[in-house]
Amino acid sequence: MSTLFTTPPPPLQSAIATFPHPAVLLVTLNRPKDLNCISTPGHYELDALWRWYDTEPSLRCAILTGNGRAFCAGADLKEWHASQSSPNSNSTSNSETRRSMPPSGFGGLSRRSGKKPIICAVNGACLGGGCEMIINADLVIAERGAVFGLPEVKIGVVALAGALTRLVRTVGRQRAMEMALTGRPLDAQEVRDWGLVNRVVEKGEGVREAVRVAVVIAGNSPDSVIVSREGVKMGWEGVGAEEGTRLVLENWYSKMDKGENMKEGVRSFVEKRKPEWVPSKL
């Protein structure tokens, strides 16, 4: 499979990378006995994978899901507890190392900016860091029976991987406070009503639906997808409407205008045929 790419994907120990469509990357968290909790090395593995995905011209959309009955139940608390019990547990530097994760956050996703879209296909428990990842994902497909929540307050910790400040922009202050302060679990339909999930599908259909959506995205101009995502992201991150439009025009549209995909899109429309996109150079 790596022969299809300009560089091979980075190695993974706690996840599996597959390609259900030539332009789609599917990442499956693969620690089912641990409810797909992510350990410290796992954050860096996934960060490297998302960075590779962003630079690989042939890939246009990615999906994250979990193997077994959980999407991701959060941090590996067994790892954290073991580090607390180690002889050097009082060392500040060791403590910082134990708790560290890349700038892109939990699973390389909770604080990721990135260039290309990532869809989360939530197949089960989506708690703590798992929920922090979906809050910053571009689209979320949830299966019936999936459970979401930020239970950190129940065990004396805090969701510090980027969710709290992002959550309020999506669900509003009161709902964000309810999630953060009570730690109660929410079902898939409730989080859909709150705006955290795009759609709810039957059990076992999450990845199938995510692939369907990813293929639709991959069929669009890769330049247009990248720039459109950037424009939406600017608004969500609090950039004013006019300022965001100016930044998109000055920093992205001028590059897009010089590329082949815009010309091909208009030309194919006039000629009434399917466009033939080239890999994005943005």
Give ∠ CA 8-10-11 in degrees, rounded to 5: 115
Q: Is 129 a catalytic residue?
A: yes
Q: Is 210 a catalytic residue?
A: no
Asked if 133 contacts 102 with a C-beta cutoff of 8 angstroms, the reply is: no
Q: Which of 45, 56, 152, 230 is catalytic?
A: 152
Residues whose CB is less than 8 angstroms from the CB of residue 137 and which lie 6 or more positions away in sequence, other chains included = 64, 109, 118, 119, 120
Q: Which of 75, 142, 146, 214 is catalytic?
A: 75
Q: Is 162 a catalytic residue?
A: no
Using CA atoms, how far residue 239 sits from 136, 211, 245, in Å, is 16, 31, 9
Asked if 13 contacts 67 with a C-beta cutoff of 8 angstroms, the reply is: no
Asked if 200 contacts 189 with a C-beta cutoff of 8 angstroms, the reply is: yes
Q: Which of 56, 132, 143, 209 is catalytic?
A: 132
Q: Is 75 a catalytic residue?
A: yes
Q: Which of 129, 130, 149, 206 is catalytic?
A: 129
Q: Which residues are the active-site residues?
A: 75, 129, 132, 152
